[in-house]
Chain A
Amino acid sequence: EVQLVESGGGLVQSGGSLGLSCGAFGFRFNYYWMSWVRQAPGKGPEWVANINRDGSEKYYVDSVKGRFTISRDNAKNSLYLQMNSLRAEDTAVYYCATDPGWGAYDRWGQGTVVTV
């Protein structure tokens, strides 16, 4: 079964750090670009960052540049998001998603909640 499972969310003080993980199951993880997308309470989704198949290209939304780092380990079928200098406005459900190209996110995890 195709599945994405996020973990690592929680409650953190402003200025603190948190690391999120996303495990991929049931498909060829190294075939896909991967993205983190977040959704603040009562708001629409917001793309946060994405990474290419081998991890050599990374892109971020301006509001997290210099604070968040996306990475992946294809041997472990895992995606990561290291979040530093967290702010209240980073409070959201964070989803990982596969990106077959051009933002067409076709698989989403169940999300993990981050509260700052």
Chain B
Amino acid sequence: DIVMTQSPLFLPVTLGQPASISCRSSQSLVHTNGNTYLHWFQQRPGQSPRRLIYKVSNRDSGVPDRFSGSGSGTEFTLEISRVEAEDIGVYYCMQGTLRPHTFGQGTKLDIK
């Protein structure tokens, strides 16, 4: 199985400041079809997960443009340009390139 490793696991951030979450996979997420199936999810306290970004860098409808995703191969990053209070929660990367689809351990973003 592909292991997804996120860092940091805890991320205290000052409102208005940027934040960055790293996600590393144990093997390349480039599918034989050329696509990379790395997605990012946000889970606010008490809520279901919500997809933010799919296939590395495609932001979902309704997701603020302060969220961006980048990366390739085995190294990926989720960036928030200016953290707002509503961004509090846990962020997960997930690979869909190979079954079983696997998630990272999660990064808990909190406000300092």
Contact = CB atoms under 8 A, between A and B. Distances in A.
Q: How large is the interface on B (under 10, 10 to 19, 20 to 34, 35 or more residues)?
A: 20 to 34
B92 interface: yes
Nearest to A4: B48
A44 B92 contact: yes
Contact of A102 (B35, B102, B103, B104): B35
B96 interface: yes
Q: How large is the interface on A (under 10, 10 to 19, 20 to 34, 35 or more residues)?
A: 10 to 19
Interface of A is mostly: loop
A47 B102 CA distance: 7
Contact of A108 (B50, B90, B101): B50
14 contacts: A44-B106, A45-B41, A45-B49, A102-B31, A102-B35, A102-B97, A104-B39, A104-B54, A104-B96, A105-B41, A106-B51, A106-B54, A106-B60, A108-B49
Interface of A: 37, 44-47, 59, 61-62, 95, 101-106, 108-111
